[in-house]
Structure 1
Amino acid sequence: MAKKKFSEYSEEAEGTQDLILFRELSAKESKDSEAEPQQYVDQEDKIHLVYKLVPFGGNYLYSLLIMNESTAPITEVKIRIIIPEFFELCRSTPPTLTIESLQSEDESNGEVIGENQVKMEFELLNGNSQKQINLYLCPLSLEKKGKVRSFITFVNNADFIRAIDTDSINIELDPFSIERKIIPQSEIKRFLEKPWIKKANKSIGIGIDGIFDENYFFDQIVKSIQDNNFQLIHKNQSNKISWFCGTDLVSGNDILVIGQIVAGKIEWLAASSNPQLIISVLTNFVNIFTNEMIQLGHISSEDQVYSLECKYCGNTLPNFPVRGKTIECNRCNYEQVIWN
């Protein structure tokens, strides 16, 4: 057997060394290309609900903020918000929802309470993000008590279903008692310009097919305000506008009220430092006026009284359109039909 020369061994060694170096390099490259392991994120106590119920113009705003403060997403998020039946949902953001009627029992007296359940859902809430839900609630009557509360369920990053609920917010729409207050006309502007004064309005249209008699309906507006014991300060019959003032004996707050007919709209405007008082007074005006119209035979039901708030942004619409015609909001440009 022929012996190999040293040079031949050296050549083989060099070739082998090259192979070993290649294999080491391949292993290193393979290690670098491996996917990083997923970090486990504990979502316990990192999903929060922030909520409030506050006056908003002539209505109430219920706001619910869902906060995901973890770095992982949650999925299949389902929201239920329970509101009293004396609230009507005017609009919401986001606008897609369903409403169901519920009945519950008052634990204190066993009385059956009517409620409405608002339901929303969305597929995903990413980590370190939040979702805002706003419900704009229009009171339908006074001297009522109820609660607003929320429940959410979701699937966490460990594929478990979790549930969170809020504490109940008690809401009571108290009646008011007005004492007439005489002020000079020059005081009206100064009162409205005070920085702590809040303002709101209710604007409605009456769904009648006959001629809209502005003088007649203006007199009915004036009557609805005077029936609440407000003092007439000034009345402009030609422009269909009147000013009133009074003091609420319950809260002690002054309130200025304006009643007017403009562009086929029947409107009440109120200004006071007490936003809850404003809501109660405006709600009462609409209810008194509606009942009066039914009793006088001008309309057959409250369904013929139409709110003139934009269904999308809440702005007061520029006029009351005729039956079946669309109207465009001059704030958001959303076109809508008020009555058919």
Structure 2
Amino acid sequence: MRPEERMTLRAVRDEMRLRKTGIARFNKRWRSWAQNRVRQFRLPLPVTLTSDTALMDANYITACVQKAAALRKHDVKLWFGYSKRILELREELQPDQLGYIMWGYGKSSFLDASFYREILPTIKEQVPNFQSHALMSLMWCLKRIRWHDGRLNRAAAQHALDSVEALRPSDFIKVTNALAQLGLRDPGLREALSRVAVPKLEETFAQQFRDAVNPVTIGRLWNDEVTAYLLERFRKIFITARPMHLLKAYESAVVCRIQRPQVWRMLSKDSKSFYVRLSQRHIADKGKEPSQLHWDVSRLLADLGEAHRNSFRWGPLYIDIGLEQIEVDERRRCVMVDGPSSFFYCGALGT
């Protein structure tokens, strides 16, 4: 055998061996992550989604809501039936069951204002008894449906502080991100959350930490110390980040540079260089654009003379077209289409 052929065959064998062991390691990691992700919010109770809701007890309706949301069953009649039965059983629901129900409604983005108005008083009474998963599910659901309730936000923030040792680090991140996006304004609670944030974030692995770097949370919740910690640590774990995490990190750096220049000056030279290079990098982010359905509905609303407003996202900010031309009372009128990230609410036909 010629030396060139021997070298080629050896290289082929080495490549096959490396590919075999590498794929096995990759699949093992992915399988572990996928199983944990699926089992994390799954109830093992076998249920039939189309069963008669009048025969469902608290355990059964909880499992049905979770399963329907996980399987993405967007049947309006089905969800209205679940909502009616949940309201009938609301006094019997346990805190963990309320958590699974709120996760299901957040996952499905079911927007029935009357249901939330009637169920939230019961939830407010149970908030002090919520464990980590239930508290995370509640705040995540409220963030998804854009439901602003100042008293509930303050109660959730206080409960997160009281039970911070029992909160999972990943749940703590989701709770704080939701509180920031829902507009927690209490300076005492914000400062208290900032004091416990760094020790809690130190418990996270790299893949859990990625979600902690959020421009809204940095701009509205964390203090200077936590902001500097987040930006410094993300530079060290960015290799695990996906494009959406890189985009949020870039937006967070912009928010820090504009709103808190003193924190930007506190960062190390390597960190500042990292974010400068990140700003020059192409980050694959498709973004959300108005579909043809959005434009058709917008034109029809304009023809009918119905006040609505078109909005779009620019960096970490939401821009409303014609906000200064809207009357005060018209701002309360809301036309929700296509979920909480909808394109229409209270303005004129925009571009």
TM-score w.r.t. structure 2 length?
0.21
Structure richer in helix, relative to its length: 2
Bigger relative contact order, structure 1 or 2 (CA pairs below 8 A, ≥6 apart): 1
Query: TM-score w.r.t. structure 1 length?
Result: 0.21
Higher Cα Rg: structure 1 or 2?
1
